[in-house]
Structure 1
Amino acid sequence: MSKIFLSHASPDSPTAQAVAEWLAANGWDNYFLDFSQDGGISPGERWQEALKKAADRCEAVIFLLSPAWRDSRWCVAEYLLAKQLGKAIFGVLIEPTPFDTLPADMAPEWQICDLVAGDEREYFQVHEDGVFPPTAVSLSAQGLARLKHGLQQAGLDAATFPWPLASDPKRRPYRGLRALDIIDAAVFFGRDAVLVRALDKLRSLRQQGVDRLFVILGASGAGKSSFLRAGLLPRLARDDRHFFPLPVIRPEQTAISGATGLAVSIEAAFQRLGVRKNLGDICDKLDEPQGFTAILDELRVRAHTRIAVHTTPPSSRQGMPGPSARDGNQPISPTLLITIDQGEELFGADDGGQENQRLLAMLREVVTVGADPKWLGSNEASPQECLHGNGYDGAPSSPEMNEVVPINPSVMGTLRFAHPTSLPTASAQTNDAASERPIILIAIRSDSYERLQTDPHLKGIEQTLFSLPPLPREEYKEIIEGPPARQSATGKKQGAAGEKPWVEPALIQQLIQDAPGRPMPCRCWPSPWSGCLSTMAAMGTCYSQSTKNSVGPAALSRQPSSPPSSNPMTSP
C-alpha cells in the first residue's frame, strides 16, 4: 500500500497531527509522520531515511509550509530529497508565509494549497504524549477540499479513475487477452511499486532536462502495453501541469501515416486541446523541414495556455489553487510525451519500412534540438537578468538562509532563496527550459532492444532504461479480485437477480495454485495447453454470462484444452 509522507517543522506538530487525522479520515491512513526524538537521531534524519526506504511505495509528499518550516534546514533538505527522488509534491500553507521566502521553484512548479484563508473551517482536537499537550487546530475547509482533490488526482489507486465509463458503460472489466488501454485505468491492478518508480523517474527526467529517451524494456508477454496504456499514461495525463502525453503511436509498417501513426496521434492531441486540425495538413507539415518541431511547439504553447491560472478549472491543476497575478508566478509549460508502443515494429522486415525509419529521424530531430527556452507569458526576462552564478541573489529572510543547501548537481545544482522581484519569473523560465524538449517513451521487447540501441538515428542520445519484470506471484490475487471489486463499488447491477459480480475464492486459489513457479505476465496466465486456465480470457467469458455473475470453478470446464491458434504469450 502506498504511503504519503508529511514534512513539518517541530513547532507545527499539532497542525501536522491534525492533517494526519484528516488524511486517515479521508482514506489515506498509510502515512509517515515523525515527532519524537529517538536515540539521538533527529526527526529530519529519520524522515529522510524512511523516505529512501519507502521510495517505491511513496506516491506523494506533503510539505506543511510555515515560517518555521521555511527557516528549518532539515525541512528544506527534505524538500530537496523529495524532488531529487522525483516525488509528487504538495505544498500546503498552514501559516501565512510569503512565497518569495520559500524555495525558489516551489510555488511556480508545484503551486500552493492554502489551509489558512477561508471562513469555513474544520476543527481538530489533537495531542501527542510527550510531544505537545491537547491543542485545538482550525484548517480551511476549502483548502482541505482542494488538497483532497489533488491527492485523488495524483493517486495510483485504480479507484481514483471513473468506472463504469460514461462513454462505454457496458465495457467489461476483464479484457481477455487484449492489452488494457487508457480508458481501463480504473481496472488496472497490481504493479503499484513499479508505477511509483516509473512516475518518479519521468518526473526526474523532466526536471533534469538531460535524458529524453525513456525505454520500457520487458520480455514478450510481460504486460508492457497494459502497463504503458492503462498504468502509466493515465496518471501522467492527470498531472497536466507537468506532462502532456500525445496519444499512443503503434508503428506497424506506416509509423507516420498509418491508422495508429504519428499524424493521427497529433490530430487527436490537438482535439484534446479543443483545436481541429486537418489530417492532410498535418501530414504536409510533417514533410516540411523542421515541421515536426513546429507542430510540437504549437502543441506546447496551447497546452501551456490551457493550464494558465486564470483560464484553467481547479480539476486540471491537481486540485491545487494557483497563485494569483499579484504573486507574480507564471504557470510552467508541460513537457510533451511522445509514446510508442510495440517499439520492435520500428525494426521489422526491411528495417520496419521507410516511414518507420523516417519517424526515428524525426524523433532525433526533436530531442536534440537546442533547448533555448521560448519564454511564454507577458513578464519576459532573460536568465542573465534573473540568475547570477549557481543560485539566486537577494537578501535572505533569515540568517540561517544565507547558507546554500547542497543537492545532487545533476538535479538542481544548488538552492538559494530569491529576491522577491526575480524569483517567480526566473524559476518559471528555468522550468520552461527543462520542459521544452519532449520526452520519448518507447515500450519494446527485450530481444529487440539491441536494434534500438544501435540504430544510427539514435546514436549519441542518452537512454534511460526501465525494466518491467513479469508480474510477481504475490500480485496475482489483486489483479483477479480488483476488477469485480471495483465493479461492485460502483453499485452497478449485473444479471437478472441484480447481484453484483464477484470471484469465488476457490477459483482464485486454484488459479494461483496451478500457476507455474516462475513469475507470470500481467495479462496472460498459464497457457491452455499446459492444462491450466488462461485467467483473463476465462474472466471475460464468464463475465459475459448474463445469468451468472460470480465466476466459479465451473468456468474451468468451459476452457479449451488445446492451444489457441495464436500464442497469447507473444502479446506485449
Structure 2
Amino acid sequence: MNNPEAEPERNPASSSQAQDVAIGGNFQVDGAGNSVDFSQTTIDQSHAQITHITQVAFDQVKARPLNPRSPYIGLRKFEVRDRDLFFGRDRILVHLQERLQDHFLLVLGASGSGKSSLIRAGLIPQLAQQRGGGFRELICTPDRNPFESFRASLTSAGYRQSETEFLLANQPDSLLKAAQTVKANDDEWLVFIDQFEELFTLCPNGLIRQHFIDGLVNLVAGGLPSVDLVVAMRADFLDRLSAYPDLSGILQRSELITDLGDDELRLAIEQPAARHGVVFEPDLVAEIIQGLKGRNATGEAERISLPLLQYTLKLLWESSGDLGDRILRTSTYRQIGGVRGALQRRVDEIYNGFSVDEQQVAKHIFLQLVDTTTADVGTTAVGKAVSRRATLTEFRDPTEQKVLQQLINASLLVSDRPSPDSSAVVELAHETLIDSWDTLKRWIEESKPLIRLRNQLKDDAMRWHDLHQQNSAQAEAELWQGSKLQWLMAQKQELRDRFGNFCSEETAFVTASEALADRGHRREVQRLRRTIAGVGIALAAVSGLAFLALNQWIRAEQGQIKALTQTTNAEFTANRDTLTPLLTALDAGTRLQRIPAFLRPPELQADVMTALAQGVYWVREKNRLEGHTDGIVAVAFSPDGTTIATGSYDTSIKLWGLEGQPLPVTLSHDIAVLDVAFNPDGQILASADESGIIKLWSNQGDLLTPPIQAHNDYIHSVQFSPQGESLASASQDGTIKLWDVQGNFQQTIPAHSQPVRDLAFSPNGRVLASASADGTIKLWERNGTPKRSPLMGHQGRVMSVQFSPETNPNWLVSGDDQGSIRIWKATGEPVRLLTSDDTSAVRQVAFSADGRTISAARHSGAIEVWDMQGRLLTTLLGHSLPANGVAFGPDSTTLASASNDQRVILWALSTTPRLTVLPSPTEENSPVFGLNFNQQQPQLATTQQDGQAVLWSLEDGQMPQPRLLPDPGKEGWKIQFSFQGDRIVSCDLDGTIRVWTAKGDLIRTISKAHIGGAYAVSFSPQGKYIASGGYDKLVKLWDINGNPLFSLPGHQGFVSSLAFNAQGTHLVSASIDNTARLWDLQTQTQIATLEGHLAPIWSVAFSPDNSLIATASSDKTIGLWDLNGQPIRTLRGHTDTINSVKFSENGQLLYSASNDKSIKVWQANGELVMTLLGHDKAVNALDTKENVLSSGSTDGLTILWRQEPNYLSLDDLIQEGCDWAKDYLDNQANTAKKLCSR
C-alpha cells in the first residue's frame, strides 16, 4: 500500500485537484491529450487508507526524477518493503480490514492470485500505519515443523529465542501461551500464516499438524483483542480442513481473492512506472491486459497470473535500455514475447547459456523443486505439479551450487533462511514458472511418477533419520517394505539419472530398508522350507538346485504379480469404469493362483485382492465393439435389443450382436456416415451421410431402395416416427424433410436459418422437435406448422434433443455445445438446467426406455448419467477422444457410447449393482461425516458438514432416494438409528442433539447439550438412553425424552466417538486425548483406560460378541483391546489418520476408513484381506448391514459396497471378474482370450 505522503508533488498549474478515490470504474490514460480520465471513477471519502492518485499529465510524470531501478518485482511475492509499488487492491483491502474486526480471517485464492502479496504489501503496511509503534507482524510460512516456523517469526520480530523455547514442545496451547507471555501488553500482533497449504505438504508429522491447528483455534478462541490472525491458503486445499472439526467455527470467516478487474490491472501496471518517472506508450497497457486473458484448450478463461504479469513488466523495463525518453514501448513488449512468451523466452535464454553438464544439473535442480499434489508410490497416479521447498544442503556438488546461484541471481529461484538456527531453503520464485516454461513442463510430464517417489523418499528418509536418533526400534516401522521398496529398487538408477545422487540420509534409509527386507526374505525362505517339510515333501527331494529353482520361480512370479498390481492401480486411477484395470487384475490373480496357497505372502495376496476388488466393484464397461478404422459418429439399438448398429467416418455401418460379436455384414456409403436409426419393428435400418444421402437397409443388410438424395448438405439426424410410417431427416441446410419408408418424399419444413443438428418425434408421433445451431429448439406439428414459439435458453448451438418415452408427464431433453443440458416439459416449458464440472460440448443426449434416466455424450469423452431430479448419478470415463453418440438399450440398463477413438463401449447400469454411489443431495457436495443403517428397515441416514441430515430410502431394485431432514444444524457430525429402527439421533458442532422418527419427523431438540460442540452420539441397544460426547470433554447420558441423567468426566480432550456393548451395560468412549475409556453404566464409573495410541482416537467399536474393543487413531493404527483395557494387537497399513472402525455383523471382519482415501478390510486376527478404493478424498464414516458396507467421504459421496461372502475368496473374486468380462474375452483373438482359462 502506498504512503500518500510519498506521492509526487501536484502540478500547481493543473486545474484538476487530487481526489481520494476508491479505485473502480475506468481509470485510463488517453494518448494525444496526455490526460488522465477519472470520469467513471467512484469517489469515496470514507476511508483515509485509500491510495491518493494525482491527476498529472504524461509530461509531468516524465518530469519527475528518473529512477532506473525496475519498480516491478518479477516472480517473487511482494514483501512489506514493497508497499510503495503495490497497486490495484484498494477495494479488497478496505473489505479485509472490516472483516478483520473479528480478529481472524482466512484468505483463499488460486496460485498466482496474489494472496501473499495482498497481505504482506497491502494489509500489513496499512495496519502498521494505523496502529503505531506497538504493531508487530509475525509472518510464518509452515515448514516441516510449523511450531519452529512460528518461533522463527517471533525471532524475526525481535523477541528473544530464550523466551520462546516452550514452542519446541509442539503443544496445542503454545501459540496462545506465546501471545499471553511473550507479547508485551502494549504490543498489537498480526499473525500471518502464509502458504497454509504447506502445513499439509511439508509437515510429515500428523500429530504436530493437529496440534498446530489446535493451537490456531486456541489462539482465536483466546479472545485477545490485541491479536489478529490471518491465514492465506490456496483454495484447492480447502477440503483438507474438513478433517479438523475444531476449525469449523472460524472457517466461516473467509475471503476469496478473485482476479483483478481491468481498472485494477491498469493501476498495477502503470502506477509503479509512474513512480519512477516512466509512462507506457498509448494502447500498450490495453494490449498487456488483453494478453493476460488467455483461454485454455476447452475455451475456458484462464486465471490471471499476477507473478507472470510482474515478471513480464520487469523484463520489459530491463529490456528498454536507459529509458532516456521515459516511455515503455509496444515494440519492446512484443520483442520480449508479450505476457504469454516473455518468461518462456527468458528462461530458455538462461538455460541455453549453460554448458551441457550445467543444463543437466539445472534439470536436476528444477525437478527437485517440484512435487505433485497426489500420488501413490508404486503407481503412475499423479496429480498437479506444485512448487516444493528444499534446503540448500541438498545441493552439495560445486556445479550444483554454481548453477543454483545463477538461477537465484536470475530471479527464477528464491532463497531464504526461515530462522537463524535453521538451514537456508530454496524454491521456485513462483509456481507460474511451472505453467509458463514448456521445457520444465516436459521434464515434469516425463518424470511425474518419479518426482513423487523421489520426494516421498526424501521426506520419509528425513523422518526416519530424526526418529532413529531417538528410538531406533520405533524408527524401523518407517522403513519401506513390500511393493513400495520394490518400486524404489526398480527405479533407483532412473532416480539418480533424473535427480542426481541420494543424500547421506536417503542412502542410509534405503540401505536400512534393504537390510530389513533381506532379513524378511531369509525368514521367508526358512518358512518355505518348513512349510514344504510340513506338508510331507521331503526336503531332500527339493534340496539343492531343485529348491533354489522353486524359490527363484516363486520370487520371479511374485515380482510379475507385484508389477501387475501396480499397473492396475494406475489404470484404476485413469479409467476405473473400464475393463482395463479388471483385466490386468485378473492376470495378477490367475498368476497368484498358480502359487500354492500356503506359499503366498499375505501382503501380496492382499495386494491382488485389492486389485481384483477395484475391478469387480467399479467396472461399468461390459464390452467393447472394435473394428471401425475411424471415429464412430452414431450408435443405435434395435427395438428388441439384440442388434447394435454403428456408423463411422470410415464410411461404413457395422452390425453387432449384444454380446459384442460382429455380424457378418458391413454396409457402406461413399462418404462419412453421420447417423443410423432402426424403425419401430427393427426390420429397417436408415443411415445418412455427409453428402445428403439416406439409405434404407433390411436388418439382414440388403439395400431396400435406391439411395435417396435427401439433401445437398450434411444430414445430421434421421428418425423414424413411432408408428413407423415416416422417416424424418435434419440437415446442415436448415431444413427438415419427411419421407415414407419406401423413400418417397412427403414434405419439407424450412425449420431454421442455421443447421438443424438433431430431431426427435414425440411418443405419439404427433410432434417433431428440432435442435439447431441457432441456439433454439422448435416444436412442429406433423404438417410443418409451428406448435409454439421457439424454446430459448441455450447459450450455444443446440446439438441434440430427445423426447422421453411414454411417461406421465412427457419430457424433452436437450444439450448444447457450451456444455449445458436442459430438461423441458414436452409442451416446451423449462424445468431445470443440469450442470456438472465438465463444461465441454454435449454431442448427444438420450432417455432410457423407462424414462427415469438421461445420458449425455460429451466432447471430453465423458458419458454422464442423470436422474430426472437433476442428480448426476455417474460419469463414465473410458473414451480417450470425444464421444459423439449415446443410446440406451430397451432394458434401460445397457448404455452404448460411440467415440472418435473408434470404439463403442457397452456400459452396464444394473439396478442391483455390486456398488452404488449416492451423490450429495445438496449442490455444494458437502462432506459426509456420519452415517448409519436402519437395521430394521431399508434406510440409511447421513450427516453432512453443512449441517444437513439426509434420510435415504434403499428399496431393492430402485435408485436410493434422499429426503432432507428439517432443521439442519451448524455442522453435522454423527447420526444413528435406534436398534429398534424407530428413532434417529444426530449431533452437530453447535452442541445440539436432535431426535427424529424413522420417517424423518423431528421429535425433539436438546440445545447446548455440550458447550463447544457435540461430536458423538449413540442409542443404547434397548433404545432407552442416548449417550453423547462433546467438546466439553464429557460423556453424557440422557433419557429418550432428552432429560439429562448423569455425566462421566475423565477425558482430557473432546470426546470423539462412543459405542455401547450389546447388553447396554457398558460404554466405551474415545477422545483426542489419545485414550479410550470403558465405563460401567450401572455404577457410573470408569473401569479401564485404553492407553497406547500416540495421537487422537477418532472411533471406537465393540465386537458383536463383546470380547474386543477396536480403536482408530491419527497415529495411523488400529488397536484391538480386551475388556480390561489390555492391548491385544495393533493393525498397521493406513498412511494417514484413521477416522472410523467397524466390525462386521458376524465379528469375523473389521473395516477401517482413513484420510488416505481408503477402506481396509481385516480379518479379526489382524490380517489384511483387501483395500477398497474409490473415494477421491478422506473417508470419514463406515457402517454395515447384512452384506452391505456403507462409507461416507469428504468428497461428498456415500458409497454402498456389497460385501458378498465370495468377495473374500481369491478364487471366487477371480471367477466374478471372469464372468463379467466373458463377452469381451470371447470376442478376442489375442492372449487376453485365454486369461480366464488358465
TM-score by length of 2: 0.22
| Bigger fraction of residues in helix | 1
Answer with 1 or 2: which has the greater Rg. 2
Per the normalisation by structure 1, the TM-score is: 0.45
* Structure having greater relative contact order (Cα 8 Å, sep ≥ 6): 1
